[in-house]
């Protein structure tokens, strides 16, 4: 059960803007819970494919989403959140580009979004929650105490993702990554279900020319936590 009195900070924005790093740092510094909402769509897609469920089979996708057994575990600075599906560490698998593309397909299906909505809201627990996603401030936590929309140029986001994948030993082409990021942005901003956009009362922070420490300082100031 959610605790409606627990404070919430939402951090929305496109992939590669630095949301994952910022929300981990913020949650760790405040000692709050963390929700990586984007991973829920990736986990739904992964769980469905593992069970032989087509990403076009809406009814069965809803069943998978409703019964999703997931847990998040904070890690050291600079490392991704550890993600567990049915007790198995699937952190690396859910971060692949293929899984991200599958998640983007799942995320436009309204019945699946509905099935995951309450699961996300149940993460609101004392002493507080930092929620990372794309519609946290507009749909999932519209009454959140602080709403941040973190963005960056597509070129910078592609470069960040390129370095991340290279460091992980993945052979990748930066031009291909840039094309994929632009295509995903276009799809996410124009989808009928909760399109990617800042909440009306969100503070927009462009991280293009900022260090991660500068971004954290701005988010902390917006949340009144300086």
Instruction: Report pLDDT for 78.
Output: 67
Q: Is residue 226 part of a domain?
A: no
Q: Is residue 121 part of a domain?
A: yes
CA distance 133 to 77: 19
- pLDDT of 135 above 80: yes
Q: Is residue 175 part of a domain?
A: yes
Q: Is residue 169 part of a domain?
A: yes
Question: Which is more confidently placed, 125 or 77?
Answer: 125
Question: Tens digits of per-residue pLDDT, 173-189?
Answer: 999 999 999 988 888 88
Side-chain-facing half-sphere of 154: CA atoms under 13 Å:
13
Q: Is residue 81 part of a domain?
A: yes
In this structure, are residues 149 and 204 in contact, taking their beta carbons and an 8 Å threshold?
yes
CA distance 15 to 38: 9
Question: Tens digits of per-residue pLDDT, 8-34?
Answer: 999 999 988 888 889 999 988 899 999
Question: Tens digits of per-residue pLDDT, 37-64?
Answer: 889 999 999 999 999 999 999 999 999 9
Report the mean per-residue pLDDT for the chain.
90
* Total number of residues shown for the chain: 226
| Domain count of the fold of the chain | 1
Instruction: Report pLDDT for 108.
Output: 87
Q: What is the CATH number of the domain that holds 48?
A: 3.40.50.300
Q: Is residue 2 part of a domain?
A: no
Please give the distance of CA 28 from its chain centroid, rounded to a whole number.
Answer: 17
- DSSP secondary structure letter of residue 6: S
Domain, as residue range, for 75: 8-220
CA distance 23 to 132: 6
For residue 160, which of 172, 149, 148 has the smallest C-alpha distance?
A: 172
């Amino acid at each position: 059960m959610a605790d409606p009195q627990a404070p919430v900070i939402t951090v929305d924005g496109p992939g590669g803007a630095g949301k994952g790093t910022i929300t981990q740092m913020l949650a760790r510094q405040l000692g709050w819970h963390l929700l990586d909402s984007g991973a829920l769509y990736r986990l739904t897609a992964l769980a469905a494919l593992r069970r032989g469920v087509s990403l076009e089979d809406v009814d069965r996708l809803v069943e998978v989403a409703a019964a999703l057994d997931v847990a998040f575990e904070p890690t050291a600075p600079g490392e991704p959140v550890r993600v567990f599906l049915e007790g198995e560490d699937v952190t690396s698998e859910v971060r692949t580009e293929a899984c991200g593309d599958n998640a983007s397909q799942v995320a436009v299906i309204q019945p699946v979004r509905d099935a995951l909505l309450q699961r996300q809201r149940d993460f609101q627990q004392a002493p507080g929650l930092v929620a990372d996603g794309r519609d946290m401030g507009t749909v999932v936590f519209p009454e959140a105490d602080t709403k941040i929309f973190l963005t960056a140029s597509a070129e910078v986001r592609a470069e960040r993702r390129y370095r991340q994948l290279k460091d992980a030993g993945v052979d990748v082409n930066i031009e291909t990554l840039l094309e994929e990021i632009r295509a995903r942005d276009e799809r996410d901003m124009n989808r009928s279900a909760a399109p990617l956009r800042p909440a009306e009362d969100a503070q927009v922070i462009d991280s293009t020319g900022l260090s991660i420490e500068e971004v954290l300082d701005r988010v902390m100031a917006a949340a009144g936590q300086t």
